[in-house]
Chain A
Amino acid sequence: MYSLPEGYEDIRSRAREFALREFTEEVSRRYDESEEYPDEIRRKVFSAGFLDMADPWKVLIAMEEFCRVDPGLGLSAIASMFGSEILMLFGSDEQKERYLAPVLRGEKISGFAVTEPSAGSDVAGIKSTMERTPDGDYVLNGEKMFITNGTVADHYYLLARTSPPESPDKRHHGLSLAIIERRWPGVSPTKLRGKLGMRSTDTAEIKFENVRVPKENLVGEEGKGFYYVMTFFNISRIYVAAQAVGVAQGMLDLYLDYVLSSPSPPSEGAQFVLAEGATKVEAARLMTYRAASLIFQFNPDPALTSMAKYYAAEVANELAQKIMGIVGEDGLRGRLEKLYRDAKITEIWEGTSEIEKLVIYRQLSKRRSS
């Protein structure tokens, strides 16, 4: 599958129209400057039917088209369901009813809390702990960093250590995933301001002090948290690839506007920038759709997913730098400079490009040895 399934071009058109209508320059600028979470946009996106977890292609295409216009607003809306796949795959019926259903109805917001001040790419290096109490519940202590939706989410899917690793090379053992409500005693999120881009997304540092976690909120089996998180990353990374494709396409759109509005015909140098950029964006898009098609058929290929995310982010950032250098002063205000700032994070979150390359290598070498 190298192109969209039938019917999705129509969804793309609707997503494009929605983004152009709702993400006006004034709205974009307001949220970018204030760094406030765009809840009104989230509600509109939900009402328009784009937040439909039963139809992941629709969500993926909406992500791409929204990020083509304003990645911060688009991501804020779509990531309001952040981490939902975790409960879909590993949650109990009660957890799905209590936590997932309200999110899917657009009534609540979820977050995914893994990264810590001293552990980003190195997920197994986290230090937060959940200790068992005599009655079988847990007490959570620790600190999470750069958590998307940190101050607006109703609950988080959080990774913490429930038992020490048997040995240094088994650090990924003994980690567990639990659902933590933001309003519980001992949970203290603090909004982080001053991001380079994606400034309308909510990002927070969260402290957890003696937070009582009912045993019913443990997701899946104790000690399997690392596996659940990695499974989730193999899904979520494809949405970051779509973000990057959207950002890159948005820059090409603006570049073409710039070139065509020039009083003189563009030089071949200017033409080639578009030709080369469009070729790479199309390649990134096809890689993204191919990896997505496998994920959505419950047959993910982690190497392909990481390739798509790494390559799409590379293309977005390469184009951002090239186009900004050519457009010159005209690009220093407005949509282009915003896309330039927004692009950078795609090389960092949900696994840095370096981590993606490690995944690709490990997957390919594993295939050879098997």
Chain B
Amino acid sequence: MLRDEEKLLRRVVTEFCESNVEKERLRIERDGIPDSLIRAAAESGFLGALAPPELGGSGLDLRSYSVLLQVMSKYSTSLAYYVFLQNSLFIAPLLKFAREDVGRSVIPEIASGGSKGTLVQDIFRRSKNSLSYEGKLNGMADMVPLPDADHHLALVRSRDGDALVLSNPGNVLERYRIIGLRGIEFGKVSYEGRADVITERGSSAAEELMGEVAIPLSAMALGVVERAVDMAAQYSKEREAFGSKLSEFQPIAFYIADVQAQFRVLEEYLYSDSPDPLTVKVLSLDLARKASRMSIQVHGGYGYFEDIGVERLYRDAAVLSSIAGNYLDDMTKLSRGLLGDFAAKI
């Protein structure tokens, strides 16, 4: 399934996470990702994973990038999301749509960890977009990850339709954490000021972006699944009830094995030559929800507490399912791919 260089990367990322992330697991959830960890991720080339070497990046292809996110998500989905935000939601659209003289110049800063980028998440739900651009950016956006980021990409209404613009930081009106990805701060931001137009084909850029995040998002979901299964399997082999290990009870063993079987098939498919992104996304997000629920159940009361580390998988699975479209949107697209453009419209 994985090529040799991808297996090597998997080992490197695992070692990075074992040395740097595992010990910070609870701190990330409670207080956010420490700066030292972000610096370490930058030094390892993770923050510029998708950027080419000439822009200070690692130049990973989609498969290797997916390996990176899957492994990292096992240890901290918040940190994996941070890497995803810098790469899939910031560097990738700049590489794809920005001119040499506008936008791309910030990529080396992002890759080195010298500055942070963010994407105003309204881009995935355009009906609620309240940002407009007429020479200046104006309006307010909610659910902005890393609201204090140095560079903000946003989809805005412009005179000629929708545009993707790069803006300086706005005024943060409210900061909060959401149900999962607790290491990431979200916020409500008011924008008023200069912004550079990256592309005037904003809507189609958003549509393309939505399609391109499906595989990386699936990789993060599979990281959640892998961790959930690993923890459930280990606990079931240690914990005793009624004089036997939990793993000796058929329903518990079947529950774990069922999720593991689905994981293996999905992982195989994700790293196959031409996986259908939407298919992987729908199935892996569903499996992440199922796996995290299973793992809490196997852990019983212990699974309900944060120090064990299973409950965060349950919360993170909910967020991954919601940050780039939702189930009905994905199923509608999947149906149309199979049945034609008029499918699933009622």
Contact = CB atoms under 8 A, between A and B. Distances in A.
Nearest to A271: B346
B319 interface: yes
A311 interface: no
A192 B305 contact: yes
Given A120-B300, A192-B305, A333-B178, A328 B241 contact: no
Contact of B326 (A121, A192, A326): A326
A107 interface: no
A263 B127 CA distance: 9
B90 interface: no
Tell which of B249, B286, B303, B318 has the most Cβ of chain A within 10 Å: B318
Contacts of A327: 322, 326
Interface residues of A, number: 44
Contacts of A325: 285-286, 289, 318, 321-322, 326-327
Contacts of B340: none
B242 interface: yes
A329 B293 contact: no
Given A125-B241, A328-B125, A337-B178, A344 B293 contact: yes
A345 B315 CA distance: 14
Interface residues of B, number: 47
B47 interface: no
Contact of A269 (B296, B303, B305, B344): B344
Interface in A281-335: 317, 321-322, 324-329, 331-333
Contacts of B326: 325-328
Interface string B52-91: 0000000000000000000000000000000000000000
A348 B297 contact: yes
Interface string A109-148: 0000001001111100100000000000000000001100
Contacts of B305: 192, 194-196
A267 B343 CA distance: 12
B344 A267 contact: yes
A354 B252 contact: yes
B276 interface: no
Contacts of A92: none
Tell which of A118, A263, A325, A337 has the most Cβ of chain B within 10 Å: A325
A269 B314 contact: no
Contact of A329 (B243, B290, B322): B322
Given A325-B285, A328-B322, A122 B301 contact: no
Tell which of A146, A327, A328 has the most Cβ of chain B within 10 Å: A328
Interface string B218-253: 000000000000000000000011110000010110
Contact of B323 (A120, A196, A329, A349): A329
A329 B321 contact: no
Contacts of B286: 325
A207 B327 CA distance: 47
A196 B296 contact: yes
Given A270-B328, A329-B323, A340-B318, A122 B178 contact: no
Contacts of B176: 333
Contact of A324 (B127, B251, B321): B321
A349 B307 CA distance: 19
25 contacts: A120-B241, A120-B300, A121-B300, A122-B241, A122-B242, A125-B240, A195-B304, A195-B306, A263-B127, A267-B346, A269-B328, A325-B318, A325-B321, A325-B322, A326-B328, A328-B125, A329-B125, A331-B322, A332-B178, A332-B322, A333-B176, A333-B179, A337-B178, A345-B304, A347-B297
Given A267-B346, A340-B179, 18 more contacts: A119-B241, A120-B301, A196-B305, A263-B127, A269-B328, A324-B321, A324-B322, A325-B285, A325-B289, A326-B326, A328-B326, A331-B322, A332-B179, A332-B180, A337-B179, A340-B318, A353-B297, A354-B251
Interface of B: 121, 124-125, 127, 143, 176, 178-180, 240-243, 249, 251-252, 285-286, 289-290, 293, 296-297, 300-301, 303-307, 311, 314-315, 318-319, 321-323, 325-328, 331-332, 344-346
When A and B form their complex, which 5 residue pairs have the shortest distance between CB atoms, in order from nearest? A328-B326, A194-B306, A337-B179, A196-B311, A122-B241
